Structure formats: structure tokens, C-alpha cells
Homo-oligomer: A and B are copies of this chain.
Amino acid sequence: MDDVASVQIGLFEATHSARALRRFRPDPVPDELITRVLDTAVRGPSASGGQNWIFVVVKDPAVRARIGEIYRESSRVVQAEYAERAKPAHLGDRQYELMKKSSSYLFEHMADAPVLIVAALKLGAPGSRHSPLSREDEIARFWRTSGASIYPAIQNLILACRALGLGTVLTTIHTYHEGAMKAALGLPADAYTYALMPVGWPLDKFGPIKRRPLGEVAFRDRWGNSWAG
């Protein structure tokens, strides 16, 4: 392994090859690397510079096992969703089956990763009483934009892992059992979890990351006027 300080990877190489990796070697990950990953995560933005984030790094096998149970339990909701939801139009049949199969692997194997990182935010009461929106819409708006203070940091975390040769993937389904997760980690009442990320030396390879054509998702001045057109 290279010295942490000497690791060099280009930004665009990292962004374009940091694909979701879910299978890991059992080998331990040195704390020094996790520190570098966290140090990169917290360079992300947060609302009003609040930095109200909490990162819990779980290496203890007993705590990992408990989180693995919570994740497995949460996966039942997803399996019920898969059973009734249509395939996204831009995925071929084989791609969709592959996506479901690779996601499903973690349902039974989350605890196998040598490191689990849970990201949370400490938040005040939801919603602004100065909002012009209805109470219902304001609550939805509050939660919808709350992720702006944690998911950018998560992407930094993903890219730092990529730079150091570590695999990871962003997952959120444990939130179906938020109470159990908070209890497992001793999180305070005003904390809400946003991500559970297994981290380890990957069995599979990095990138390239394939995506829908930009012309389908990017527009000029108004929706419908393709950026590429």
C-alpha cells in the first residue's frame, strides 16, 4: 500500500470510476485510511456551514452483526417493492436483473464488510414557521432539502475511498428501521440517519460508470429543450 499522503488520482478519473462495490475481502482497513476518508467527507458543504453531521465508523464485529440484522430486516420492504414495481425504462431486462441481484447480495452480507460507516445529521424541529408553503408541503420541503447537508459529504467519502483503493456503496434502506439503528449506535434523539456504507478492499474492479445520455437529462433554459440538441 502506498503512503496515504502520497496517493494521487485525478478528479475526473475518480468521479468516472467510483462505481458501487459491494463485495469485500475480509482484510482489515487501517484507521489511517478511514481518517483520510472522513477528512475528505467533511470538506463537503452543509446548510449555513452548520456541519451538524455525525459519522459512526463501525469495526466491532458485534455491532456490525447487529447492523447486518437491521439491514436484512429492512431489505424485506425493498423485496416487496421490487415484486410490484416496473423496470425503469432506460434499463434493459438483463441490466435490471443484474442491478437487483447485486443490490440483493448486500441484504445478506452487509456485516461481512470490515468497516461500516453510518452518516447522520443532528436537526432541530422540522420545517420553518416562516415558510409560505402549507404545513404538509413545508415538512416535505424540509426533509427533501435536508440531504443537501450530508449527501455531498457522502460523495466525497465515496471518491476518497476510490482514491485509496477502497470499495463502498451508498445505501439508505436501513432507515425503514431507523429506531433500531439509532439504538444500535447510541445516537441521540435529535439525530437522523441518512446513509449506511460498507467499506473494504473490493473483490470487484472500479469503473467505468455508464449513464443515460446527457441529452435525456440535461436541458437548456427550460425543461424539454435538450442540452445536447
Q: Which residues of A contact B (CB under 8 A)?
A: 7-16, 18, 20, 34-35, 38-40, 42-45, 47-51, 53-60, 63, 76-77, 80-81, 88, 90-91, 99, 103, 126, 128, 130-133, 137, 139-148, 150-156, 158-160, 162-163, 169-170, 172, 175-178, 185-188, 191-192, 194-195, 209, 211-212, 214, 217-224, 227
Contact = CB atoms under 8 A, between A and B. Distances in A.
Contacts of A150: 147, 151
B12 A163 contact: yes
8 nearest A-B residue pairs (beta carbon): A147-B147, A151-B151, A143-B143, A152-B155, A155-B155, A80-B130, A145-B172, A186-B222
Nearest to A139: B140
B126 A140 contact: yes
Contacts of A44: 15, 155
B57 A227 contact: yes
Contact of A144 (B56, B57, B63, B143): B143
Contacts of A10: 8-11
Nearest to A37: B218
Nearest to A31: B227
A132 B77 contact: yes
A175 to B, nearest CB: 5
A188 B224 CA distance: 9
Contact of A148 (B54, B80, B143, B194): B194
A38 B214 contact: yes
B51 A212 contact: yes
Contacts of A58: 221
A42 B145 contact: no
Given A10-B8, A11-B14, A42-B217, A170 B148 contact: yes
Given A35-B227, A217-B51, A132 B176 contact: yes
Given A10-B10, A42-B211, A218-B38, A141 B176 contact: yes
